[in-house]
């Protein structure tokens, strides 16, 4: 049995379909990047390595970007799995680079990184607090292992993460803009 719990928003994208989420960018459905504040001291980009192949199931580095290349995310993670049956991989985030090109934050503090593990990792969520923005990356796989995956990034103004919340179920304020789909680099 798979049980999903959501914070204040009520839905898998951190919203309940109400007007706050739909109108965060002024009603268009596209994300107006001016709604996402710059990360102080941010790097110019995520520093992608073209030599790293994208492997959602076993890759220790995931590199993602928006269709227009303006938003990027690079996650470095470690497999801490105690599950010998392969029911899920218990990922631990080690380092994340995320943000708008020209203003990318680097986060490596354990109390600012969280990976919510789900059954077979089919609905995992990575949460990152940069000190300015909270980024939630929903990794959804449909059709089992090897099925189609989507990567939706939502940016919130609230944070930091709750270090006592071992399930990584941080509630959220209204998103700064609608979720942004990211694609493997």
* Spans of all domains in the chain: 19-82+89-184
Retrieve residue 150's tokens: 């989507």
Predicted confidence band at 28 (pLDDT cuts at 50, 70, 90)?
Answer: very low
What is the pTM assigned to this prediction? 0.77
Among the residue ranges 2-11, 29-38, 69-78, 114-123, the one predicted with the least confidence is 2-11
What confidence tens digit (pLDDT) does each residue in 101-133 have?
A: 999 999 999 989 999 988 888 899 999 999 888
Residue with tokens 């071992």: 166
- Taking 80 as the threshold, does the pLDDT of residue 21 lie above it? no
**pLDDT for the residue numbered 92:** 93
| Order of all β-strands in the sheet with 134-142 | 103-107, 91-100, 71-79, 61-66, 180-184, 148-156, 134-142, 123-129, 113-116
């Amino acid at each position: 049995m798979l049980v999903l719990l959501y914070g204040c928003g009520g839905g898998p994208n951190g919203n309940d379909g109400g007007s706050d989420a739909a109108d965060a960018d002024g009603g268009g459905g596209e994300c107006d990047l001016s709604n996402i504040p710059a990360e102080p001291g941010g790097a110019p980009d995520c520093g992608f390595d073209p030599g790293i192949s994208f492997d959602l199931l076993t890759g220790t580095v995931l590199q993602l970007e928006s269709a227009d290349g303006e938003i990027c995310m690079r996650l470095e993670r470690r497999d801490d799995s105690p599950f010998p049956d392969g029911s899920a991989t218990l990922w631990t985030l080690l380092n994340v680079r995320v943000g708008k090109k020209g203003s990318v934050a680097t986060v490596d503090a354990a109390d600012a990184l969280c990976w919510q593990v789900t059954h077979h990792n089919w609905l995992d969520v990575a949460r990152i607090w940069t000190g300015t923005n909270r980024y939630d990356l929903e990794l959804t796989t449909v059709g089992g292992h090897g099925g189609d995956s989507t990567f939706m990034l939502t940016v919130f103004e609230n944070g930091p993460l709750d270090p006592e919340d071992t399930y990584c179920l941080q509630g959220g304020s209204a998103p700064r803009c609608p979720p942004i789909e990211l694609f493997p680099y």
